[in-house]
Amino acid sequence: ITHEAAYRAHTNIALIKYWGKRNPELFLPVTSSLSLTLDAFYTETRIQFSPDYTRDTLYLNHKQMEADEMAHISHFVDLFRQEAGVQAACQINSINHVPTAAGLASSASAFAALGSACNTALGLNMDAQQLSTFVRQGSGSASRSVHGGFVLWHRGEGDVSSSSFTEQIDDANWDIGMLVVAVNTEVKPFSSRAGMQHTVETSPFYQQWPAEVEKDLALMLEAIEAQDFTTMGEISEHNAMKMHATMLAAKPSFTYFQGESILAMHLVQKLRREGLECYYTMDAGPNVKVLCRQSDMAHIKAAFAIHFKPDQLIEAKPGPGPEAIQWK
């Protein structure tokens, strides 16, 4: 083995959503977006390059990945190989650390960990900004997991990959928490990639989306700067629901909401009426993420525990950017 490295990267949840690509080959988004990196969910990945390997392989949670899924991974690693002028094939080992019931498929932490490992293993020494433009081409949201805390992903200009990068805007080292409500479901959701493409192509409401994001993002940046939790929460919730509304208006219509998702959202509204401030957001799946003050977490969790099982409720705090690890 000539080159090797291992990294841990954490997942992130968007408060201003990324929904739609202007250039699918380069994963260039229609709009900017903004997220919070979380401590509770992460991926650990080791990559080894060797001239002795005949092809790229990946073991995810000790299970070898199928050839069709491997194509996107090899294409992703190629970006780094080209940059380094290296041809060797690789072996990748990756472990997802996601509390069991959550079922959060984590392409964000996965590509951030793999990209960080490639960067070090191949001696590229890219800074986080440049690395984010590579990681983006594995999965858009992964580009935000290259940093901890609150992260802004700039949409960038035209077809210029280097212009669409991420940066940390605040380390989120204040009273912020997120309760993940894992909604168990038999229904296999539409992937975010397919869902966003279908929405861009068929939803008449999508035309309004970029202007809404622009307004929400400007207000969100001010709210974070001021540590104004109320405004942050209100904008996050509204932005997420506007995104989900574009899906309901797609043709054919679709939604990620399940019965328990709606129950969780109603519970948040009830807690708010009772003076316990919290807000919800949802992504391309049925889980509900409740944004709250860390100092209110115990109360909020207790209220949810009346309706949900203990393993459906996962507490998270702001998390860090990728970290080099010792692989055992």
Interacting residues with ligand DP6 (CB under 6 A): 14, 17-19, 27, 33, 107, 139-141, 192-193, 283-284
Instruction: For tokens 């035209």, name the residue.
Output: 158
Least Å distance, CB 298 to ligand DP6, is 27
Residue whose Cβ sits closest to ligand DP6:
140
140 with 27: CB under 8 angstroms? yes
Enumerate residues 6+ apart whose C-beta is below 8 A from 49: 1, 2, 3, 4, 86, 88, 89, 90, 121, 122
Least Å distance, CB 183 to ligand DP6, is 15
Enumerate residues 6+ apart whose C-beta is below 8 A from 77: 47, 56, 90, 92, 114, 118
Q: Which SS3 state, helix, strand or coil, does residue 165 take? A: coil
Residue 79 and residue 64: Cα distance in Å, rounded? 22
Output 3 or 144, the one with its CB closest to ligand DP6.
144
Helix axes 192-202, 229-248, angle to 10 degrees: 70
Structure tokens at 97: 């650390």
Least Å distance, CB 86 to ligand DP6, is 25
Output 88 or 202, the one with its CB closest to ligand DP6.
202
Least Å distance, CB 303 to ligand DP6, is 26
Structure tokens at 296: 């209110």
Output 116 or 139, the one with its CB closest to ligand DP6.
139
43 with 60: CB under 8 angstroms? no
Least Å distance, CB 239 to ligand DP6, is 10
Output 18 or 41, the one with its CB closest to ligand DP6.
18
Least Å distance, CB 317 to ligand DP6, is 19
Residue 75 and residue 168: Cα distance in Å, rounded? 27
Output 118 or 213, the one with its CB closest to ligand DP6.
213
Output 33 or 133, the one with its CB closest to ligand DP6.
33
